[in-house]
Structure 1
Amino acid sequence: MRGAGPGSGVGGQGERHLHRPARPGAGARPGSGPVLNNGASGFGSRRVVAASVGHFVHDVFTAFLPPLMPLLIAKFSLNMVQAGLLSVFLSLVFFLNPLLGILADRRDLRYAFIAAPALVGVCMGLMGAMPSYYLVCALLLVAGAGSAVYHTLGPVVITRASGRLVGRGMSYFFTGGELARTLGPLAAVGAVAWLGFEHLWPMLLLGLATSAYLLLVFKDTNTALGAGSGRDPESLRVVWRALKAVMLPLVGLVFTRSFVLWTLMIYTPTYLVSRGHSVSFGGTGLAVMEMAGVAGAFLGGLASDRWGRRPVLLALLLVSPLLMLAFNYSSGWLLWPVLVVLGLSVFSSSPVLLAMVQDHAAGRRGAANGLYMGMGFAVSSLVLVLVGWLVDLVGFRAAFNISAVMGLLSVPFALRLPAQAPAAPTAP
């Protein structure tokens, strides 16, 4: 994508488009609120920043799970399969994301989007106080519902507010998420040291405050596709047929890539603890990798706007598994620079993939994002259980080696992705 042209700056024409009410007959009901649409080129910085801040706070809380997993394992005497299932419960509701995406195209879900950080904050803040493994699973399931809503609607909000600069908008959004996953592990281990594992509930106030901020920004904004698009939302079957050329290769790509991405995100702290380090060291190691991922997430989307989605994606998918192998055999001071370059490469591909999905979505952005997110979390849940089983069977080092090799298999799937998005359909 190239520059947005006149009116793309902060507070320019794009910002005025964002507040313009829908015209009668354009798909919005009278009184339904302004349409979240920035026109062809405008970049609506206020809403992009607000959605990214919400993503940051939301992911701070979901990032609590990996560094606190050793404490949950010790508290409830869990094996690695049971520990991996905790992440599955956190993402289980994402199986419904395709339906949620269809609903997001048909109905205004602004208040569900606004409430998500508060819901996730409450659940994660109470996790340490739960007296049983099953209650922790139940809390994670509820938190996952809020997470599914935010991750389905967030990219749609970002895309419509970004105008023609979707890569830039996705970079802001994913930078918020990656920064959260950098600070989240540090916040978790710091909160445990300060408050105690079973007394983390004051942390939930941050989630409540963030939802209050989102309410101020989005309370008058209609997020439904039908508001102002001039097109009726389509059925899931129609959406799948329209997106099949990009979604079929993505199934294989996301499955193989998940062996690198999710193994590192979920199991790195526990792996480092198993190598004789402390829980704080494990959380810090994940935080360093995620901190590098902040730069990677920001630069990945910008690079794909300039050099194209597929070339950037191919380079990242090739380099990341090789760096994972390097991490597996690093120790001492060398561990830290390897974690930095690993985080820089692994997390750069996330905004590129989501921008590619949105490029092909045209007027079905909510459904497309729901399909992608639902498929992604379905396969990642399977991968987490498989990797947990491998760790119990052959140990961490061998399981990480197998995951890196699986990650290399994502390259052939990336080669089958369309080189460019089709022309957007015109409104009737």
Structure 2
Amino acid sequence: MMTNKMDVATSAAIPPTVEKFETARVLTLGAAHAVHDMYAGFLAPLLPDFIKNLALSNAQAGLLEVFLRAPSLLQPYFGYLADHISLRYFVILAPTFTALGMSLLGVAPTYAMLALFLLVAGISSASIHTVAPVMVGRLGHARLGRAMGYWMVGGEVGRVVGPLVVAAAVSAFGLAGLPWLTLGGVLASVLLFVLLRDVSGRPPGTRAPLPWRAALRSMGPFMALMGGMIIARSFMSAALTTFLPTFLRSEGADLWLSSSALAVFEAAGVGGTLLGGALSDRLGRQRILWISWIVTPLLMFVFLAAGATWRFPLLLALGFMALSITPVLMALVQESFPQNRALANGFYMALSFVLRSLVTVVVGALADWLGLRGAFTLSAGLALLGAPLLFWLPHHQAAD
């Protein structure tokens, strides 16, 4: 019953005519995502230093991710507003505020100050991740998967560069030198003001959005399904992103090697997100999701069993497969609720960020109990067990 309703919503979202894909503007928003997520990528490489300097447990370190993600609870509200008014200035200002919050981590004297700075960055992150994907979808027209792929590539590029930038800054200037990196975010916001000030932040379409109560009721079954998928997948993604540098350093790697490993994983994800989104337009969303969902946990088991020589090549494959589904899911969410794209996107992103943050704490606790290797192994198994949920997803009509 739920699948039939989803199919109707999905088919209603398919444009009757093909409009031109606005490549330049989509790439501009992807660049904004790259700058923003470069700063957001500072946390994982710095966790070992915070653990050492402030005597934190792995669970406390994982809790820092919650402070960064907690403001995502505001995303449905941001989405509701974005369905009615343009919030493009949220996108323009986000690099400055995220840069400020993440760069000040280097001079935070206490755990409480770390939490405060992460909350500032988190609010900025919540706003850009709600509003900008809807702007991208507007500019992508019929090629929604391709547009989401470009948007997510920006994020992956930022996450690739972020660990390398923060490692270089710490090596050159120490943690106390990180606040100078804020200047990059300020410059990015100035450039974005020039490039994006005439781009609407509202979703496309002429139909008025549903009232928020009616919209949320219509989204309930779909979002419940997405929540189950997010939980299953987040165990593995939390292990491979938040705790990958810590895992490698526990096995003898230094800061540069562990940060480079995270960069390799994220770099491979650039190709995965770009190709996954575009292929889902042509082959259907479900087919791409099934391939990624089955192959990624199997690759993680091989990664854990392999020696040091094979780890970097396996991280390339892991990054490509693990991150290929992100634009596919975002496209599926937006096309399922065409009258309330921003609210649906905000609801999905809030659900994703909150559940992933909670799972990150659980993975940290599992690492304290089982060790990092045991936590990684269990996380891959749980992700694989979530695959049957894909049977209930709506079927996407491939583009011509």
* Residue 220 of structure 2 is aligned to residue 241 of structure 1: no
Measured in 2, the distance between the counterparts of 1:171 and 1:395 equals 35
Q: 1:409: Cα distance to partner?
A: 2.0
Q: What SS does the aligned partner of 1:41 have?
A: coil
Measured in 2, the distance between the counterparts of 1:87 and 1:338 equals 26
* Residue 102 of structure 2 is aligned to residue 102 of structure 1: no
Q: 1:40: Cα distance to partner?
A: 4.7
Measured in 1, the distance between the counterparts of 2:201 and 2:392 equals 33
> Contact (CA 8 Å) 1:52, 1:177: kept in 2 or not?
yes
Measured in 2, the distance between the counterparts of 1:230 and 1:346 equals 36
Q: 1:84: Cα distance to partner?
A: 0.4
Deviates more, 1:46-55 or 1:237-246: 237-246
Alignment of 1:18-97 (within 5 A): 40-97=18-75
Q: TM-score, normalised by structure 1?
A: 0.86
* Residue 261 of structure 2 is aligned to residue 285 of structure 1: yes
Match of 2:9 in 1: none
Match of 2:177 in 1: 199
Match of 2:160 in 1: 182
Amino acid across the alignment from 2:263: A
Match of 1:364 in 2: 340
Match of 1:217 in 2: 195
Q: Which runs of 5+ in 1 are unaligned?
A: 1-36, 423-428
Match of 1:17 in 2: none
Q: What SS does the aligned partner of 2:164 have?
A: helix
Alignment of 1:21-420 (within 5 A): 40-225=18-203, 229-420=205-396
Higher helix share: 2
**What's the C-alpha RMSD, in Å, of the aligned pairs?**
1.7
Deviates more, 1:75-84 or 1:39-48: 39-48
- CA deviation vs aligned residue, 1:300-330 (integer Å, no higher than 9, x gap): 1011111110011011011111111112222
Measured in 1, the distance between the counterparts of 2:62 and 2:47 equals 9
> Contact (CA 8 Å) 1:114, 1:211: kept in 2 or not?
yes
Deviates more, 1:383-392 or 1:41-50: 41-50
Measured in 1, the distance between the counterparts of 2:290 and 2:362 equals 25
Q: 1:421: Cα distance to partner?
A: 6.8
Q: 1:363: Cα distance to partner?
A: 2.1
- CA deviation vs aligned residue, 1:115-163 (integer Å, no higher than 9, x gap): 0011001111111011111101100001000000011111101000111
Measured in 1, the distance between the counterparts of 2:288 and 2:153 equals 17
Deviates more, 1:346-355 or 1:105-114: 105-114
Amino acid across the alignment from 2:294: L
Measured in 2, the distance between the counterparts of 1:208 and 1:45 equals 25
Q: 1:273: Cα distance to partner?
A: 0.6
Amino acid across the alignment from 1:304: S
Q: 1:201: Cα distance to partner?
A: 1.6
> Contact (CA 8 Å) 1:66, 1:269: kept in 2 or not?
yes
> Contact (CA 8 Å) 1:269, 1:286: kept in 2 or not?
yes
Amino acid across the alignment from 1:217: L
Measured in 2, the distance between the counterparts of 1:189 and 1:339 equals 19
Q: What SS does the aligned partner of 2:100 have?
A: helix
Measured in 1, the distance between the counterparts of 2:355 and 2:379 equals 14
> Contact (CA 8 Å) 1:105, 1:364: kept in 2 or not?
yes
> Contact (CA 8 Å) 2:249, 2:258: kept in 1 or not?
yes
Deviates more, 1:245-254 or 1:166-175: 245-254
- CA deviation vs aligned residue, 1:355-391 (integer Å, no higher than 9, x gap): 1111212121100101100110111011011111101
Q: What SS does the aligned partner of 2:192 have?
A: helix
Match of 2:6 in 1: none
Measured in 2, the distance between the counterparts of 1:240 and 1:331 equals 48
Measured in 2, the distance between the counterparts of 1:389 and 1:320 equals 23
> Contact (CA 8 Å) 1:102, 1:233: kept in 2 or not?
no
Measured in 2, the distance between the counterparts of 1:175 and 1:230 equals 29
Measured in 2, the distance between the counterparts of 1:327 and 1:120 equals 33
> Contact (CA 8 Å) 1:90, 1:140: kept in 2 or not?
yes
Q: Which runs of 5+ in 2 are unaligned?
A: 1-14
Identity %: 38
Q: What SS does the aligned partner of 1:364 have?
A: helix
Q: What SS does the aligned partner of 2:306 have?
A: coil
- CA deviation vs aligned residue, 1:150-205 (integer Å, no higher than 9, x gap): 11111101000111111111111111111111111111111111121121122111
> Contact (CA 8 Å) 2:284, 2:397: kept in 1 or not?
no
Q: What SS does the aligned partner of 1:126 have?
A: helix
> Contact (CA 8 Å) 2:210, 2:339: kept in 1 or not?
no
Measured in 2, the distance between the counterparts of 1:229 and 1:417 equals 24
Q: What SS does the aligned partner of 2:177 have?
A: coil
